[in-house]
């Protein structure tokens, strides 16, 4: 795994260097204007954005506590630490540390990692669902012709709605016919590799097991509501950050639907989060997107993209690092332990859990 991380990091660095050399003589960038855009940003909006993100962490911990209430009831605030420390680990160590939250919640509550896995899976499912709702809203709310390349936008609108529908059908199928679905995909992928087929089948069984944390329509409704409110606070952070750049007429008047589009792009850019390196790739991807789609000046787009990363992602670092010291948490050690726990979890056959207890 360490070799894979090293190779991936070096590959990303090589791409960044290649892009830098390519752009050096072709893209005009005025650093003085970039610094001016940052200097003229209204810091009251930026602080409001950070507050929105921390409110979102409260709703995230509340949702986790709600999803595990059938196993053990815990106060929502007791899980704020694992959430914030966990995302601090992701910010520093990359997406490889994503299971840190699961591991920390298990240590905090005394519920085994296997018991937290279902919560983690369903949490991610609700995140995707909430994102789908917001992106669909942006697709439907943006008036035709409001963005450049309307034909391409219309195709994206169409295929996104199709993909969302397929995703809903898949989730419902796994929920009500989990074992049959797992065996089907296990057989299909097993035609290429038995190991791959077994892995896919086990992950689908864990996915199905995780959905058992939602046992009623009330469970679903509360979890869905918390997810939508949480993602709305994140969306508000994007809205506040873009409006902080008062010197740019496009950014200071950015609509909520436009912020939904930026949020969707940011979520896609952060999917493969490498340690530290991805901070710069995410800034670059988002800046190019804001410039190309909304016509924002290059320097303003880069300034906005930089502050979006700080406000919505890196703002957790100071609090998370201090909290980790108080909790005596070594982030690197916990990330390694949680990764091993995740590997062991993937080898567990849900059909034989009870026999293993």
Residues 6+ positions from 88 with CB-CB distance below 8 Å: 316, 317, 319, 320, 321, 323, 324, 331
- Residue 25, pLDDT above cutoff 60: no
Confidence band (pLDDT; 50, 70, 90) for 261? confident
Q: What local confidence, expressed as pLDDT, does residue 106 receive?
A: 87
Mean pLDDT of 281-296: 87
Confidence band (pLDDT; 50, 70, 90) for 357? very low
Q: What local confidence, expressed as pLDDT, does residue 346 receive?
A: 53
Residues 6+ positions from 314 with CB-CB distance below 8 Å: 91, 279
Q: What local confidence, expressed as pLDDT, does residue 193 receive?
A: 84
Look at 7-11, 163-167, 223-227 and tell me which has the smallest mean pLDDT. Answer: 7-11
Look at 12-16, 67-71, 302-306 and tell me which has the smallest mean pLDDT. Answer: 12-16
More confident of the two residues 347 and 224: 224
Cβ proximity of 195 and 159 under 8 Å: no
Q: Using alpha carbons only, give the angle 157, 159, 165 rounded to the nearest 5 degrees.
A: 105
Q: What percent of the chain has pLDDT over 90?
A: 28
What is the torsion angle, in degrees rounded to the nearest 10, for the CA atoms of residue 299, residue 302, residue 306 and residue 308? 110
Over the stretch 50-61, which tens digit does the pLDDT of each residue have?
A: 999 999 999 999
- Residue 145, pLDDT above cutoff 80: no
By C-alpha distance, which of 80, 126, 98, 99 is closest to 226? Answer: 126
Mean pLDDT of 84-89: 91
Q: What local confidence, expressed as pLDDT, does residue 300 receive?
A: 93
- Residue 32, pLDDT above cutoff 90: no
More confident of the two residues 357 and 69: 69
Mean pLDDT of 20-25: 53
Alpha helices in 80-177, H assignment, sequence order: 80-93, 100-109, 113-141, 150-176
Q: What local confidence, expressed as pLDDT, does residue 150 receive?
A: 60
- Tell me the pTM: 0.81
Q: What percent of the chain has pLDDT over 70?
A: 76
Mean pLDDT of 97-115: 83
- Residue 175, pLDDT above cutoff 50: yes
Confidence band (pLDDT; 50, 70, 90) for 99? confident
Q: What local confidence, expressed as pLDDT, does residue 80 receive?
A: 94
Angle between helices 113-141 and 331-346 (to 10 degrees): 90
- Number of DSSP helices (H) and strands (E) in the chain, helices first: 17, 0
- Residue 136, pLDDT above cutoff 90: no
- Residue 97, pLDDT above cutoff 70: yes
């Amino acid at each position: 795994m360490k070799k894979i991380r090293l190779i991936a990091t070096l590959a990303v660095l090589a791409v960044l260097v290649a892009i830098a050399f390519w752009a050096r003589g072709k893209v005009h960038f005025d650093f003085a204007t970039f610094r001016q855009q940052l200097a003229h940003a209204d810091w009251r909006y930026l602080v409001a954005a950070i507050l929105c993100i921390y409110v979102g962490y409260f709703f995230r911990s509340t949702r986790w506590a709600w999803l595990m209430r059938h196993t053990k009831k815990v106060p929502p605030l007791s899980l704020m630490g694992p959430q914030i420390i966990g995302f601090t680990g992701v910010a520093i160590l990359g997406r490889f540390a994503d299971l840190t939250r699961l591991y920390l919640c298990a240590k905090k509550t005394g519920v085994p990692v296997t018991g937290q896995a279902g919560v983690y899976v369903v949490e991610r499912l609700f995140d995707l669902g909430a994102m789908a709702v917001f992106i669909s809203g942006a697709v439907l709310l943006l008036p035709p012709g409001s963005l450049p390349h309307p034909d391409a936008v219309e195709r994206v609108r169409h295929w996104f709605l199709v993909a969302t529908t397929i995703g809903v059908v898949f989730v419902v199928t796994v929920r009500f016919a989990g074992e049959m679905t797992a065996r089907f995909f296990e057989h299909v992928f097993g035609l290429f590799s038995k190991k791959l087929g077994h892995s896919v089948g086990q992950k689908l069984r864990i996915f199905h097991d995780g959905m058992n944390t939602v046992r009623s329509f009330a469970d679903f409704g509360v979890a869905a509501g918390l997810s939508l409110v949480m993602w709305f606070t994140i969306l508000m952070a994007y809205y506040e950050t873009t409006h902080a750049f008062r010197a740019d007429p496009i950014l200071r008047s950015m609509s909520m639907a436009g912020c939904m589009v930026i949020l969707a792009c940011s979520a896609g850019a952060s999917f493969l989060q490498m340690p530290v390196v991805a901070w710069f790739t995410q800034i670059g991807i988002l800046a190019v997107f804001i410039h190309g789609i909304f016509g924002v000046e290059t320097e303003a787009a880069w300034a906005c993209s930089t502050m979006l990363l700080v406000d919505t992602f890196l703002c957790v670092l100071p609090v998370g690092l201090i909290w980790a010291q108080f909790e005596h948490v070594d982030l690197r050690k916990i990330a390694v332990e949680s990764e091993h726990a995740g590997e062991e979890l993937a080898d567990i056959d849900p059909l034989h859990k009870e026999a293993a207890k």
